[in-house]
Chains A and B, each alone.
Chain A
Amino acid sequence: MIFCSLRDIVFGYENEPVIRNVSADIHAGEFIAVSGPNGAAKTTLLKLMLGLLKPWSGTVRFSAELGRSRVAYVPQQASSFNAGFPSKVIELVRSGCYPELGLFRRFRREQHELVEEALKAVGLWELRNRKIGELSGGQKQKACIARAIVQQPDLLVLDEPVTGMDAASRTRFYEWMRQQVKEEGRTVIMVTHGLDEAQDYLDRVIYLEGKEESDVSI
């Protein structure tokens, strides 16, 4: 099943397009990397896919089954957000449940369990009562990823998620994402420069070579 389909996308920030006639299909249950040199518009492509930017021309279509309700996004350098943000780690991760809970519904046991599970998976359970600003860059990144997982998304979009993580954490992260795809049936798209270390876990790579796109199956 095609989750998301991009067709003949053209987009630019000023007068010159940075993406020209790019088309791609995202299939359900895939672990996909978007890669390419600096300035190849990888983040822009993700934002177009998520509807955060509007293409000059071309279309972005989501499967009716998916809709937009179950999409989670961790932006580039999420770890660099306001160091003074007064939340505890657990408070931030719990906020991942807000889309499902809406304005008024209370947290149930399964949501508390989800939060605990996600925090344990990223190794932050012991630090759950620390303030976000007290964490290192890599730890903040992990907290943001845990928050996204708590949303139980069908589609998880991650922009350079392993930035700031040590080698062991990166490996654990790729394994965890692979598990999310295989066992939980999620679709994961991530922008990465580390294709070498990630390729064993990926299904496909979308390689942007500056304005153009090539699809590489692994």
Chain B
Amino acid sequence: MFQYEFMQRAFLAAGLISLIAPVLGVYLVLRRQSLMSDTLSHVSMAGVALGSVLHLSPVLCGFLFAILGGIVIEQLRRTYRSYSEVPVAIIMTSGLALAMVLMSLKTSLNKSFNSYLFGSIVAVSETQLIVIAAVTVIGLLFFVLLRRPLYSLTFEEDTAAVSGVRVKLLSFAFAVVTGMIVAAAMPIVGVLLVSSMIVLPSAFALRFAGGFASASVLAVATGMIGVFSGLTASYYTNTPPGGIIALILLAILLVGIGVKRVVKRTAKRRIAKAGMPVRQQTHQTLKEGASK
């Protein structure tokens, strides 16, 4: 399949995005903003529609709308501090409504929107590849250089602010980077499933990783496995890559959770078979330790 240029582009684009999207996912999940990527993809779709209606670059408009959406969500998050899901609901509804109205103004758009909605291997153009590469570099620089303040911010905002982190500035920068990554990932997985590439690998990693840094590494590895195997399956089955990638990542998550449960249960049984309930054994071990 690599004899085709579009497949080379698709794999390269997917590989680049899977370097940063799962890392973003780790932060989004921990900041309880998992649905932000979904929301921004809907906003981005409105941008694509507007670009088409106004005869501007749909890719660029989608990109700018996603960034703008991120900034507005962050601003609203500060207004609705106690209801963090409200900004997401407001912006998602607004984005979708705007996209629907704009699409109805130009009915010829409906067909090409399929590739935006579900993703398409052939949708990755040369220009998009350059955009994706630029976003990957910016994203990597952001997450690597600012990993310490980002860690503090994610842990607790007030503590971070007191210890000198410029919380507001960093939060807005985070929102901008989120918008950029969402817009860049859209051609591969599509509007509807963009969050699968961002949230599912991190959901898996957060259950299994032993520390913060290893969670990011595991999320990237999971994302890469899902994306590459999904693209391959998509090529051979002639199905939209978004759906296949999401299903593979979901399967990885479910298998992981299942295996962890079995391992835990087996360990408990082994302790029980050894003769004592877990609590008693712990108690006895403590007593032995004290007598020593």
Q: Give the interface of A toward B (CB within 8 A).
A: 47, 50-52, 68-69, 71-75, 78, 81-82, 84-88, 91-92, 95, 98-99, 101-103, 131, 151, 157
Q: Which residues on A sit within 8 Å (CB–CB) of B214?
A: 86
Q: Can you list 23 contacts pairing A with B, beta carbon distance less than 8 Å?
A: A47-B158, A50-B158, A51-B162, A52-B161, A71-B163, A75-B158, A75-B159, A78-B156, A81-B156, A82-B30, A85-B155, A86-B205, A86-B212, A87-B211, A91-B211, A95-B148, A95-B152, A95-B155, A98-B148, A98-B151, A98-B163, A99-B164, A131-B211
Nearest chain A CB to B34's CB is how many angstroms away? 12
Residue numbers of B with Cβ under 8 A of A are 26, 30, 32, 145-146, 148-149, 151-152, 155-156, 158-159, 161-164, 205-206, 209-215
> B118: shortest Cβ distance to chain A, in Å?
31
A151 CA to B162 CA, complexed, in Å: 11
A73-B206 contact given A98-B149, A101-B148, CB 8 Å threshold? no
Chain A hits for B210, CB < 8 A: 86, 88, 131
* Min CB gap B74→A, angstroms: 18
Contacts of A50 in B (CB 8 A): 158, 161-162
* B151 A75 Cβ-Cβ under 8 A: no
Asked whether A157 lies within 8 Å of B162 as measured between CB atoms, the reply is yes
Decide if B30 touches A72 in the complex (CB within 8 Å): no
Q: Do A73 and B30 contact each other (CB < 8 Å), given the known contacts A87-B212, A98-B148, A98-B149? A: no
Residue of B nearest to A71 (CB): B162
**Is there an interface contact between A86 and B206, defined as CB atoms closer than 8 Å?**
yes
Chain A residues with CB under 8 Å of B26's CB are 86
A131 neighbours in B (Cβ, 8 Å)? 210-211
Closest residue on chain B to residue A50 by CB atoms: B162
Bound form: Cα–Cα A157–B158 in Å: 12
Please indicate the chain A residues that have their CB under 8 angstroms from the CB of B159 in the complex.
73-75, 78
A78–B161 alpha-carbon span in the complex (Å)? 15
Report the bound CA distance from A78 to B157 in whole Å: 11
Contacts of B152 in A (CB 8 A): 95, 98
Inter-chain CA distance A91–B164, complex, in Å, is 19
Which residue from chain A places its CB closest to the CB of B203 in the assembled complex? Answer: A84
A95 to B212, CA, bound (A): 11
Q: Inside 8 A of B215's CB, which chain A residues have their CB?
A: 86
Q: A74-B159, A86-B30, A131-B211 provided; 7 other pairs, C-beta below 8 A? A: A47-B158, A50-B161, A75-B156, A78-B156, A81-B156, A86-B26, A87-B211
Question: CA–CA, A135 to B4, complex, Å?
Answer: 53
> CB-CB < 8 A to B149: which residues of A?
98, 103
**Which residues of A sit under 8 angstroms from B32, Cβ to Cβ?**
82
CA gap between A51 and B164 in the complex, in Å? 11
Partner of B146, one of A72, A75, A103: A103
A54 to chain B, nearest CB (A): 13
7 A-B pairs with the lowest CB-CB distances in the bound complex, closest first: A73-B162, A98-B148, A86-B215, A99-B163, A87-B212, A88-B211, A99-B164
**Chain A proximity of B266: nearest CB distance (Å):** 19
Nearest CB of chain B from residue A207's CB, rounded to whole Å: 24
Contact across chains for A85 and B145 when beta carbons are under 8 A apart: no
Partner of A92, one of B155, B161, B163, B206: B155
